[in-house]
Chains A and B, each alone.
Chain A
Amino acid sequence: MTAKDNPDHIQSGKWAEEIIAGMDQITWDRIGQMSLDNARRNLNVQDRGQSLAKLRNQTLGDGGSCIVVASGPSIKIKDPVKEIKSSGYGGAIICAESAIRYLLTNGIVPDLVVTVDPHPSRVVRWLGDPELTEEKLAKDDYFRRQDMDDAFASELATNEEILNLLDKHGKNIKIAMSTSSGEAVVQRVLDTGMEVYWWNPMLDDPDEENSATRELQEMNGLPSVNAGGNVGAAAFMMADAVLGIEHVGLVGMDLSYYDGTPYRNTQYYEALLRLADEEQLESFFIRIFNKHIGEWFFTDPAYMWYREVFLQLAADADCKIYNCTEGGILFGDDIEFIALSQFLGNHT
């Protein structure tokens, strides 16, 4: 939270603050070893792609601006693709892997896809899981529950659809793939023929002694990118720090849920149930008033941490940032919160 935010516009659950304060360590515990193990395994297929350095300062789209597409709940409420298509926007479209189905089914082939999360089984679902079965689905309701892309609730049919879409379009898509990516994601990406640009996620400060990031970089010779906690931030970093794009618009970057969304439909619901009982869950959530649109949203500790991290990335960014999500909690001194139509009007 920035100092200028009005605390009256934040209602923080009792346990949320404690978890957010420890999020750096909690995240390391979740992804640190997994990322290193995946990176070592991915050495075997590194020659199936190029270094991210080859993308540095390349021009995607007509140059000058881009739109980063994430897959927050505003995507289905606002449906930004309609407006982007009808405007004739010619800038680059950069997306999180979780938004690729939304774009392809609406006739937009993204200029660059980004993936980073090392999870062994879930991430591949965004790209189509060739091994998905009813039995696997019965064990994991992560996609059925969430307030994101509704289509993932009818899972087998949607999986088939995204398998076909990427089999068709994959060879025309560039992907910035983190070496932390799990085996299933890497195999799927290679099978689709996507043009791979490898990079290491910064796991710690590469200038520190015994840095895991430095170890990775020495092992595979690839650049390290500060991924900012999640794939949406990583996609933004590709636009700002790798491609050097001057004006970056964001859509689907809610980092929160609409008021009234059942806790069961939030991303970390099952994880939070490991910490407390159902009737106590509100203690883990934070409500924030979005003064730009006069609406309340609520978020969980991880998304709140993503917000804090993004605001720090924004403060250090070279580009101008426009959040055109038209909802959610990502706003602050270094981000212009504007309507998508305004961004498209100025950059088309």
Chain B
Amino acid sequence: MSSVLKGNFKAKKDVEIKKKQDESSDEKFEREIMKHVGGSIAFVKKKKVDWGTKK
């Protein structure tokens, strides 16, 4: 996907992702706010249904 989505749409203003100053907390902070743009549930490549055996 990254080879096709090249960011070819120019924003009117440069974007600076909001970050905290402390480098050690940066990743944690970013990960925490990024959670809010995540999908509803996971996707697993090349799998459909695993029927299991118990029930």
Contacts and interface: CB of A to CB of B under 8 A. Distances in A.
Interface in A286-342: 286-287, 300-302, 305-306, 308-309, 312, 316
Contacts of B34: 19, 22, 26, 29, 275
Contacts of A5: 4
B54 to A, nearest CB: 3
A283 interface: yes
A11 B8 CA distance: 6
Given A7-B8, A206-B50, 11 more contacts: A12-B7, A13-B7, A15-B15, A21-B1, A23-B38, A29-B35, A31-B40, A53-B55, A56-B51, A226-B44, A275-B37
Given A27-B42, A226-B44, A21 B50 contact: no
A230 B48 contact: no
A223 B50 CA distance: 6
Contacts of A201: 41-42
A226 B49 contact: yes
B31 A306 contact: no
20 contacts: A5-B4, A14-B15, A17-B5, A26-B34, A31-B41, A203-B42, A206-B44, A213-B44, A221-B52, A223-B49, A225-B48, A225-B49, A226-B49, A227-B41, A228-B43, A230-B41, A234-B41, A279-B12, A285-B9, A309-B43
A258 interface: no
A268 B35 CA distance: 11
Contacts of A31: 38-42
Contacts of A229: 39-43
A30 B38 contact: yes
Contact of A13 (B11, B35, B41): B11
A-B pairs with lowest CB-CB distance, top 8: A221-B54, A30-B38, A271-B36, A11-B9, A27-B39, A117-B40, A27-B38, A1-B4
Contacts of A60: none
Interface string B18-47: 100000000000010111111111111111
Nearest to A198: B55
A218 B16 CA distance: 45
Contacts, number: 196
Nearest to A8: B8
Question: What is the interface residue range for chain B against chain A?
Answer: 35 or more
A275 B49 contact: no
B19 to A, nearest CB: 10
Contacts of A274: 18, 33, 36
Interface of A: 1, 3, 5, 7, 10-17, 19-24, 26-32, 35, 51, 53, 56, 116-119, 178, 180, 201-206, 213, 217, 221-231, 233-234, 237, 240-242, 268, 270-272, 274-276, 279-280, 282-283, 285-287, 300-302, 305-306, 308-309, 312, 316
Contact of A302 (B9, B33, B39, B46): B39
A217 B18 CA distance: 40
Nearest to B53: A221
A27 B41 contact: yes
Given A30-B39, A227-B42, A302-B37, A206 B8 contact: no
B40 A231 contact: yes
A100 B12 CA distance: 40
Contact of B5 (A1, A205, A223): A1
Interface centre among A11, A22, A226, A229 (most CB of B within 10 A): A226
B50 A24 contact: no
Contacts of A230: 39-41
